Amino acid sequence: MRHFLTLADFSKQEILEILDIAKSLKKDLKAGKYSNLLERKTLGMIFEKNSTRTRVSFETGIYQLGGQGIFLSSNETQLGRGEPIKDTSRVLSSMVDLIMMRTHEHARLEEFAHYSSIPVINGLSDSFHPMQLLADYLTMQECQKDKNPIVTYVGDGNNMAHSWLMLAAKMGFELRIASPKNYEVSPDIYQKAREFAKISGAKLIVTNNPQEALANADVVTTDTWASMGQENEKEARKKAFKGYCITKDSMQLAKPDCIFLHCLPAYREQEVSEEVLESSQSKIFLEAENRLHAQKGVMVWLHQNR
């Protein structure tokens, strides 16, 4: 049984296969053609963390593929009342065809997948956000930024930074991550990415200097400084991340045709300026749309490779 919990579990060829499906489905959709590749299939969507893009893109995606999504918030499942994950997993996987889970600790996803008899997809965990990275790489492909790019991530060493590490390590490009001291990426995840990089030839750089990291970058990306569940740290993080905001001046350190990405929601004048977000270099709304297409690619691929 194949699950989609982290890009670490997939080869470069498999990632490209998924994106090829996504591009084909996107092309068909733009032409007004709908595929029934998942006709009469049901996607169970477990949300222990709220979302806008994840819910709409998955629910729309399964519908466009001929299936149906069922939204399950933590308040609407027995998980919210303390039912063991292994029980919920075995029950739901006997009733639906795919599960998407958006949760807190990554270990919850791993346990759910262990007991599931159907594919489980990571809609987001505290450690990884692989669906977003597929959308990001699809955007890079469409903007012709996927051929030996230099990608710079400036900000918190969070699930987005970890997922960029895995994508770069699998695809073989140069990734620079600039974070303040005490907010760096997980050493264990960084080490795991470095092992993959030995095979792919990726160059992974972790630094506390955003200016050095931005030099000649093809892609610049960031994320909110305080993720969901870290609201009480906002003020402390604002102080720690001073100097890490992506501004017009920051972008001038990168290549002139560099593109800017952000998984959204974006907090203007914190991790990125309004000027950069609304510039021609910003591809954030193409990137957001590509969540729909990338996720359709994953669902179809998992169904075909069960």
The band of 235, judged by pLDDT with boundaries at 50, 70 and 90, is confident
Q: 122 - beta bridge partners?
A: 101
Mean pLDDT calculated for residue range 222-248: 86
| Of the candidates 45, 43, 42, 24, the residue with the CA atom closest to the CA atom of residue 33 | 24
Structure tokens at 214: 């931005």
| SS3 per residue for the chain | CCCECCHHHCCHHHHHHHHHHHHHHHHHHHCCCCCCCCCCCEEEEEECCCCCHHHHHHHHHHHHCCCEEEEEECCCCHHHHCCCHHHHHHHHCCCCCEEEEECCCHHHHHHHHHHCCCCEEEEECCCCCHHHHHHHHHHHHHCCCCCCCEEEEECCCCHHHHHHHHHHHHHCCEEEEECCCCCCCCHHHHHHHHHHHHHHCCEEEEECCHHHHHCCCCEEEECCCCCCCCHHHHHHHHHHCCCCCECHHHHHHCCCCCEEEECCCCCECCCECHHHHCCCCECHHHHHHHHHHHHHHHHHHHHHCC
Residue 176 among known ligand-binding residues: no
Mean pLDDT of the chain: 95
Interacting residues of 272 by C-beta distance below 8 A, sequence separation 6+? 222, 245, 246, 247, 260, 262, 266
The band of 78, judged by pLDDT with boundaries at 50, 70 and 90, is confident
pLDDT in tens, 84-101: 999 999 999 999 999 999
Annotation says 129 is catalytic? yes
Residue 227 among known ligand-binding residues: yes
Residue 265 among known ligand-binding residues: no
Residue 2 among known ligand-binding residues: no
For the cut 80, the answer to whether the pLDDT of residue 264 exceeds it is yes
The pLDDT, as a whole number, for residue 226 is: 76
For the cut 80, the answer to whether the pLDDT of residue 230 exceeds it is no
Pairing of strands 42-47, 174-178: unpaired
Residue 108 among known ligand-binding residues: no
Tell me the backbone φ, ψ of residue 120, rounded to 5 degrees. -115, 135
Annotation says 245 is catalytic? no
Mean pLDDT calculated for residue range 225-247: 84
Catalytic-labelled residue, pool 3, 55, 102, 237: 102
Mean pLDDT calculated for residue range 302-306: 93
Mean pLDDT calculated for residue range 145-164: 97
Catalytic-labelled residue, pool 64, 132, 281, 295: 132
Annotation says 102 is catalytic? yes
The pLDDT, as a whole number, for residue 82 is: 78
Catalytic-labelled residue, pool 263, 270, 281, 293: 263
Annotation says 257 is catalytic? no
For the cut 90, the answer to whether the pLDDT of residue 75 exceeds it is no
The pLDDT, as a whole number, for residue 31 is: 96
Q: Which domains does the chain have, with CATH numbers?
A: 3-129+291-305 (3.40.50.1370), 132-287 (3.40.50.1370)
In degrees, rounded to 5, the angle at the alpha carbon of residue 21 between the alpha carbons of residues 15 and 22 is: 85
Mean pLDDT calculated for residue range 1-14: 97
The pLDDT, as a whole number, for residue 74 is: 76
The pLDDT, as a whole number, for residue 1 is: 87
Annotation says 211 is catalytic? no
Catalytic-labelled residue, pool 55, 106, 129, 293: 129
The band of 77, judged by pLDDT with boundaries at 50, 70 and 90, is confident
Report the percentage of the chain scoring pLDDT > 90: 90
Annotation says 194 is catalytic? no
Whole-angstrom CA distances from 28 to 63, 144, 182, 278, 289 are 15, 21, 46, 29, 15
